[in-house]
Amino acid sequence: MSRKGIPVEERLIFALDVPDADAARALVGQLGDSVRFYKLGLELMMAGGYFGLLDWLVESGKKIFVDLKFFDVPATVARAVARLRNRGVTFATVHGNQSIMEAAAEAKGDVGILAVTVLTSLDRGDLDDLGFACAVEDLVLSRARRALEAGCDGVISSGLEVRRLRESVDDRLVVVTPGIRPVENRSEDDQKRVVSVEQAFGNGADYIVVGRPIRDAGDPRAAAEAIQQSIATVFRT
């Protein structure tokens, strides 16, 4: 289990996947102090008002994970990452080869760079479609090793691979685990490689990312509080 000195209430990152900044502010207000760490992704970026929302969250005392999965010419990625410095951003994601990860790491300043290993929406069949002949776990471990060599601070990894990652790569890496499902996964859910809150942290994740199970709940705040309670229980035992 993660031994990093992370406040327990900050180990939950809520994926603020809503149509626009107004909806985001309303949901943040509803969640109150039940969530302290927010992930801002592509949907909000395309809706406009992304950086105004980011600044508002930082001013409200929240931590920020910029999840835009930068993938471009290394120099372009470096300039994009540099734009996030000194804005209160804790993490940002890259999704590319060695030179892209190295460029992001060199430009990061006070931003922690997280490399995507294998998206939790992909399974063995999807990797076949993409031309990867190796097992999912082998690809995750390979990408994690390369991320560490490139100077990244951590990785995005399914909870299914975190235990092997901790054993085979390096405990210094920050591991952020999406694909968390506190309840049984629905057939229409596009997340395929999922784990529970307890499994993720038991396997060694430092943070979990939760979106729909909170956002789509009848009472989002109560759902967030229930997950926070589960996390607190894990770290008390």
pLDDT tens-place values along the chain, 237 residues long: 777 899 999 999 999 999 999 999 999 999 999 999 999 999 999 999 999 999 999 999 999 999 999 999 999 999 999 999 999 999 999 988 899 999 999 999 999 999 988 655 555 454 455 555 456 667 778 888 899 999 999 999 888 888 888 887 767 889 999 988 765 544 444 444 478 999 999 999 999 999 999 999 999 999 999 999 999 999 987
Sorted by where each begins, the domain ranges of the chain are 8-236
Which CATH code fits 8-236?
3.20.20.70
| Tokens matching residue 212 | 């729909």
- For 87-103, the pLDDT digits (tens) are 999 999 998 889 999 99
Q: Which residues are the active-site residues?
A: 69
Residue 99 φ then ψ, to 5°: -65, -35
